[in-house]
Every structure is written in structure tokens, then in C-alpha cells.
Amino acid sequence: MLSVSLRDIKISLYDLGGICRVVSLIFLVPLALTLYYALVSGGLSVNSLLAFVAPAVILYLLFVIFSRVDIEDSPSKTKHAMITTSLAWLIIALVGSLPFIISGTLAPLDAFFESMSGWTTTGMTMIEQPELVARDILFYRAMTQWVGGIGIIVLVLVVLMRKGTVARDYYSSEVGEQKIRPRIKSTIKETWKIYSIYTLACISLLYLAGMPFFDAIVQSFSALSTGGFTTHASSIAYYNSPLIEFILMAFMIIGAVGFLIHFRLFNGQIKALFKNIEFRYMMGLLAISTVIIMASFWMNFHGTVVNASRVSLFQAVAAMTCTGFSTIDLGNWPDLPIAILAMLMYIGGMYGSTAGGIKILRFILILSVVKYNLKKLILPKSAVVNIKLGGKPMEGEEVFFVLGLSFAYMFVAIVGTFAMMFLGYSGMQSLFLTLSAMGNVGLVNVSSASWFMMNSLGKLALIALMWIGRLEIFPVLTIFSSIIFRKKKG
């Protein structure tokens, strides 16, 4: 059992202080927008000003407090990174709820829900009519996804892709061991540059396609971060534009592609994308899923094949890339296509991307384990059989880690499903909502009335699932296991 000492806590808090400092400065961006709108309208309320000043000040004070913690030049380890990130997403989501509360947009619990949904790039919302919300708040809400997405990428590349993991071993064979573990500063700088270029490209294309400029900014933030917040209650269906949907699908997929691949693409290695086993599986799963969903959609709702194809492809892409965009009310869909979307949400996007789920790379390894066991049953005992990933044999410890993570993911999903069923949702609705929150997807398959009437326990359950899912379970388990261990020891 993993134990956490007082020294470990000090190191984690010191690192957490640095994160609080960076995020506090980020609040100056929506504050600048608030001041701009005040200048244009000729009036500035105290609440509008405090909405972004208060969280910035609180986070900066936390930085000042935590930076004074004496860590005696102790180096940070993976254990500390897990504790730090677990606490960071929780604290930032709590403090980040203040703009919604102070502005009068949402009640405290709904504000915490909205903030956690944004910072974890989930996209579930408790704002019933975004059209009535002030633009600076809508911008801030979208920005939480964008910044949260960068944080996720840096976390994976610098911390979670440690030596001995499946992702580290697979990608080191593709890009070289010397390039797989870059320095933190250079990684953040490169990630920021690539992320910004894609975002500007998405904004430009959406604007040229006829989307209003402010909407284009918000939707671009959501698409690249695989979030899901939009400026309209009907989501992307509001625009009723095949061209806009195509552009968003392209950038949702870009957001779900691992950033190690983006680094190579920006270095001119275009073939790296199509050679990548995760990307090939993603395209294959999307193609198969779209056909099944399209057939079910057409048989149940009739209409044209073109419309069925359009809706099915968009929702399949949204589910697999873990983006909460929708062009149709999923509450009216039959169980088969909902089950397909749930499966895609469980698998998620590529490793090192902003997408959630267990990740395609791990899904491929699970299939390899099944294939391995079938071969062991069929082939003679003398036959040499290996578990391979992309042609490379995997070590037993790596395989056990992935299987353990998958089991933990399913266990939490089952608990979450029963919790939602206890609150009155059907089995399929409960499973879908659980996987959507845990996979940081944001899609909802219940009616708007049922969703916005959700009680406090349901909201708290989904908040917990968003947090646990974003951190891929084990960082959260690190904290709880250490607490349990210390209690037993005491």
C-alpha cells in the first residue's frame, strides 16, 4: 500500500503553488474582456469586476502560501505529481466556480459543476440558456476547457508517460527514446504553440463558414480541447450547417490525436499520422460505428440516408473524441446507437491528447491480451506466444498495469451507474451519463427537463466522476490509499 509522508505533502503543496500562480494570471484574460465590454457599454458593475479579480487573488494568495513551504531541495517524483494534479484540478475547479457565482449566473453547486466540467474538458453544463449569459462569462467558460486541455497534455507528456508504461514503450519505438521525455519548459512552449495555431485555424475556418466571430472562438476552444461547451442551448444543431459540422469534426479529431504525433506533423513527418496504430484504429472504429448508428437511426426515424449519415457520423466523432457537441437530441435515440456511443466514450481518444476514456492504445492492448489467451488455448503448449502492441512484445508488468486500470475504470463506472440508477434514471441512461462524465465527454441522453432538474446528489456524483476520470483514476487512488494506510497504521 502506498504511503504519503508529511514531506511528500509539502513537496506536492509547493508544486501546487506554482500551478495556482499560473492559473491566477489566466483569469486576467476574461477580466480584460469584461473591461472591454464595460468600455463599450459605458458601465461596469462591481460583481462583473469581482467575478474574475476574486479567483485571481485567491489563487495568487495560495501560491504565496504554498511557495513558503520548506521542501529542503527535495526533487518531485511521480507520486508527488499525482497528488499535486489531483489537488490542482479540485482546487482550481472550486475557485474557478466563483465567476459563475459572483456574476449571478449559477447557484454554488451548479457553479462548481460547471467549473469542474470546464477544467476537465467535459462539457456537461448546468446553464439552461447560454444565449442569456454575459459574453465574458461564456468566454471564461470556454477558456477553462482550452487551458485545461493544455494542462492535460503537459501532464501526460511530462509526468504520466513515465518509463515502463505501455505508452512510453510504444512511442519510444516510434519517435526515439531521447525525444519521448522532453523538458517541462520546452514541452509547454511547444504545446502552447501548436495548440494556438490549431485554434486560430479553427476560428478562421468557422468564421469563413458563416459562424459569428464570438461563437467561432467559443466553439474552437471546445473542439480543440475536446470539451463541448457552446453558445447555444441546441449546441451545434443551432447552425444547421454541414460545412460547420465538417470543420468541427476535423478539429475534434485533431484534438483527440496524441500530441507526440502533432510534434512530428509540425516537423514535416506527415506519414507518422497514418502509420500510427492508434489513429488507424480510431478511423476504423469510427467507420464501423457510424454505419451501425446510421442503420439504426434510419430504421427508427426514417428520413433520408444523407441526413442519417450526417447525424450518425457527427455523433460518433463527438463520442470517440470525447467532445460534448451534438446536432440532435440523444434522449429520443433507441438503445443500440446509444450503446455504440457509450462504447466509443469508454474507449476514448489517443494517448497524449485532451480526449478522455481509457485511450485507444490501452484498448488495443486489451484486444492483444484476448488474442494471446485464444492462441494459448488453441496452439500447442510448445508454441511461443507473446502479447504484442504494434508488433512490439509487451512486458508483463505493463500489461498488468493496463488491465488493472481498465478494471478500476469499469469498477468506478459500475458504481457510478448504480448511483445514477438510485437517483431514478434508467439503466441505459445511468450507464451513458456515467461514461460521459467519467470519459470527460459531455454528451447527455436524457431530456432537458430531466437534466436540469437533477438533484444535488446526482450533480455531486457526476462532479466526482469528471474529476476521477480526468486524472485516470490512479492519482485519486494514490490520495485515498495513503489516507487509508495512515489510518490503519495509526
Per-residue pLDDT tens for 412-433?
999 999 999 999 999 999 999 9
| Mean pLDDT to the nearest integer, 7-34 | 90
For 388, the 3-state DSSP assignment is strand
The better pLDDT of the pair 74, 335 is held by: 335
| Mean pLDDT to the nearest integer, 346-369 | 92
* Mean of pLDDT over the chain: 87
- pLDDT at 435 > cutoff 80: yes
- Tell me which H or E stretch contains 393: strand 392-393
- pLDDT score, position 141: 98
- pLDDT at 249 > cutoff 50: yes
- pLDDT score, position 178: 40
The better pLDDT of the pair 23, 179 is held by: 23
Task: Give buried/exposed letters for 439-452 (b at 16+ CB in 10 A, else e).
Answer: bbbbbbbbeeeebe
pTM for the model stands at 0.91
- pLDDT score, position 156: 65
The neighbour count for residue 212, using CB atoms within 10 Å, is 13
| Mean pLDDT to the nearest integer, 3-24 | 84
**φ/ψ of residue 210, rounded to 5:** 110, 0
Percent of the chain with pLDDT over 70: 88
| Lowest mean per-residue pLDDT among 132-141, 171-180, 328-337, 384-393 | 171-180
- pLDDT score, position 171: 46
Half-sphere exposure of 440 (CA within 13 A, CB side): 35
**φ/ψ of residue 125, rounded to 5:** -135, 150
- pLDDT at 484 > cutoff 60: no
| Lowest mean per-residue pLDDT among 54-58, 69-73, 81-85, 145-149 | 69-73
The neighbour count for residue 76, using CB atoms within 10 Å, is 16
Nearest to 229 by CA among 98, 99, 115: 115
Beta pairing class for 388-389 and 392-393: antiparallel
- pLDDT score, position 302: 66
The better pLDDT of the pair 101, 39 is held by: 101
The better pLDDT of the pair 52, 302 is held by: 52
Q: What angle do CA 365, 369, 375 make, to 5 degrees?
A: 135
